[in-house]
Chains A and B, each alone.
Chain A
């Protein structure tokens, strides 16, 4: 168990709808990253949040947006859902070394939310 939880576990939506996915980070982790994983493919980086601000973004359109809250939990919002948005959505939390000490920052993944768009 990584201590990272996601909700809901499964979700079915129709095209054009909006969806909000939630993630609770591992205790003490102030950074959260979101990934989209289509069936049979590797995870694709969507964006990262650090202390409530976006800190890097992958090649996803603006209809993918996020929030990070003061308790470091996070939301992923997707507007105007398309069929190709059907995927496993993963969040990962991490704790950057303070003061820049050390390079390694391990991400711990949650179990994911399976989204199906019909």
Chain B
């Protein structure tokens, strides 16, 4: 089972780029990496997902090195509303091979004015 390790907390300022790294040394071949954002008393919200190399969408980028033992979520030009807990999830939830899905402990990101 791929266990993930993330920094417990990070601080940044509005307008800055924030990079959060997740370690997952035991990632399996069929596992892929998903990042979620969670506000207090709400369900996690999907941010981005990838298997290898780089993925970019309208809100973030995900960098995955060739060995896939880590991944980095990059949030460009953060704002106060980006203050939340960010989770790195490694697992294979496909119907054909559902396995135990492991959320990390999360990174509490605080953005200051």
**A residues within 8 Å of B by Cβ?**
2, 4, 31, 33, 35, 41-45, 48, 50, 55-59, 88, 90, 92, 94, 96, 100, 103-112, 114
Contact = CB atoms under 8 A, between A and B. Distances in A.
Given A42-B87, A42-B105, A107 B41 contact: no
Given A42-B106, A96-B95, A106-B34, A90 B44 contact: yes
15 contacts: A31-B95, A42-B104, A43-B44, A45-B102, A48-B98, A90-B44, A100-B94, A103-B30, A103-B94, A107-B34, A108-B46, A109-B45, A110-B43, A112-B43, A114-B41
A28 B64 CA distance: 31
Nearest to A110: B43
Name the interface size band of chain B: 20 to 34
Interface string B20-52: 000000000010101010000111111001010
A88 B100 contact: no
B43 A111 contact: yes
A74 to B, nearest CB: 14
A31 B95 CA distance: 8
Contact of A107 (B93, B99, B104): B93
